[in-house]
Amino acid sequence: MNSLFDLSGKLALVTGSSQGIGYALADGLAQHGAAIVLNGRNPDKLDAAAEALRAKGFEVTAIPFDVTENQVTEDAIARIEREIGPIDVLVNNAGMQFRTPLEDFPGDRWEQLLKTNISSVFYVSQAVARRMIKRRCGKIINIASVQSELARPGIAPYTATKGALRNLTRGMCTDWAQYGIQVNAIAPGYFKTPLNQALIDNPDFSTWLVNRTPARRWGEVQELIGAAVFLASDASSFVNGHTLYVDGGITACL
């Protein structure tokens, strides 16, 4: 049974992986045998993350590039495939958040959210999928959110991008499953990450969240690894277009 989850010989590209969820998922995939390509826009943070994973004995390459730029992304994917190897697993984790009342939400921030949370997934997935199609196999995992399904005050544009990502996952499945590619999403609930630090530090919000979540706590990023390994491995060979909520039950109840 363990062979179902074995990623030995696979190459995984994880975007936005210098910290937080992306780093945890890269670590988890490496633990199960995958070679890892880390991506981010800050070369120093990316190198530090790569060194930390290499210290554990993992095979890791750091490739900084801006996933919100289409041609830059295409060139980077071509370089990875040429110099490192074919990408077997793509994890689209790069994302951002900005909180303010919707009536005051700046237009430039709206555009930035769209580029970072949606356009980047389209650009990277398209560049990788063109090559996966030729090989007739591949795994794409998009990192969605409970905000793919729910909304909270002050983050309507973020909610819009994550809802779009859920349906983009379905669309990618619809077009690419015929080529042996599985495209699924993981939708985390509230996890202790740098992106959520302001909420973690807010005692009122943390109290609300603990009371609202059936598990009665924040999630730890390591608790996302099992879902990622499942969707990256042969264990999910007939799972496609699915969004897997890892949220302590928050989407299951009122």
Taking only the tens place, the pLDDT of each residue in 157-175 is 999 999 999 999 999 999 9
Q: Which residues pair with 38 in a beta bridge?
A: 14, 62
Query: What share of the chain has pLDDT > 90, as a percent?
Result: 96
Structure tokens at 52: 């930390």
Tell whether domain 2-193+219-252 is in CATH 3.40.50.720: yes
CA distance 174 to 168: 10
Active site residue 245: no
With a cut of 70, which residues of the chain have pLDDT below it?
Answer: 1
Q: Which of 170, 151, 119 is nearest to 15 (CA)?
A: 119
Q: What is the pLDDT of residue 194?
A: 85
Q: What is the pLDDT of residue 31?
A: 97
Structure tokens at 95: 């994302």
Contacts of 134 (CB under 8 A, 6+ apart): none
DSSP 153: T
Structure tokens at 89: 């697993």
CA distance 185 to 92: 9
CA distance 183 to 243: 9
Structure tokens at 11: 């190459």
Q: What is the pLDDT of residue 254?
A: 86
Identified catalytic residue from 158, 179, 190, 245: 158
Q: What is the pLDDT of residue 195?
A: 81
